[in-house]
Amino acid sequence: AGTPEMRLLAVFLASVAIYAVQWKGFSNHAMPIFSIAALGFILTLLDGPQHRARPMLAICGLTLLLLPTPLSGFYRNDVPKTIGVDSLSLPTQPAILVVSTNVPASMSLTLDLEGTWVSRYPSLWLLPGARKGLREADCVAEPATCATFEAILKRMRGDTIDDMTSGRPDLLVFDKPSAYGQKSTLNYQDFLGEDARFEGLMADYRHVRETKQFSVWTRIQQ
Cα gap 15→19, rounded to integer Å: 6
Is a pLDDT exceeding 50 seen at residue 179? no
Cα gap 160→148, rounded to integer Å: 18
pLDDT reported for residue 34: 73
Q: 23-61 burial, b for 16+ CB within 10 Å, e for fewer?
A: eeeeeeeeebbeebbeebbeebbeebeeeeebeeebeeb
pTM of the model: 0.68
pLDDT digits (tens, 9 = 90+) for 7-58: 666 777 777 787 777 776 666 677 777 777 777 767 666 765 565 656 656 6
pLDDT digits (tens, 9 = 90+) for 92-113: 899 999 998 877 788 888 888 8
Angle between helical axes of 31-46 and 4-22 (0-180°, round to 10)? 160
- For the chain, the domains span 4-72, 79-219
Cα gap 80→109, rounded to integer Å: 6
